[in-house]
Amino acid sequence: MLRQKRLYDSRLNWEQFKPGDSVWVYTPQRKTGLSSKLQSWWKVPFQVVKRLSDETYRVKCEYKCKPQVIHVGRMKSRKVRDNDDKGVMRQSDDNIDEHDDAGDENRDGPSRIKNIP
């Protein structure tokens, strides 16, 4: 058993956090009536207040919660995205033709489905 623990600990690499870092915290609380498959187990926003040891941190929820001591195994860093429009696909109204689509099979654009009586 000790050999397995040494091997596990040698491959283990905990993430280091600084005070003020925003983190996700793993909280496995299942909501009644919802499928566990579709629930999110990671809660955010939590902020690191203090590093207590190599493996434990004091974190504070940003929704007026008391600070909690949490093991680093239940935490992962939160990547903050910029609010730019990269990767956001938007459809403008000027790309849609208003004419009848009969005979326009080769054109590039949204396909239209006609109602057949």
pLDDT in tens, 43-89: 888 999 999 998 899 999 877 788 999 999 899 888 766 665 554 44
The two tokens of residue 77 are 């860093």
Q: What is the model's pTM? A: 0.57
- The answer to whether the beta carbons of residues 47 and 65 sit under 8 Å apart is no
Q: Comparing C-alpha atoms, which of 49, 86, 85 is closest to residue 70?
A: 49
Site of tokens 């006609």 = 114
Parallel/antiparallel/unpaired status of strands 56-61 and 68-71: antiparallel
Contacts of 23 (CB under 8 A, 6+ apart): 17, 44, 46, 47, 48, 59, 75, 76, 77, 78
Could you read off the pLDDT of 17-51 as tens digits, one per residue? 999 999 999 988 888 888 888 888 888 889 999 99
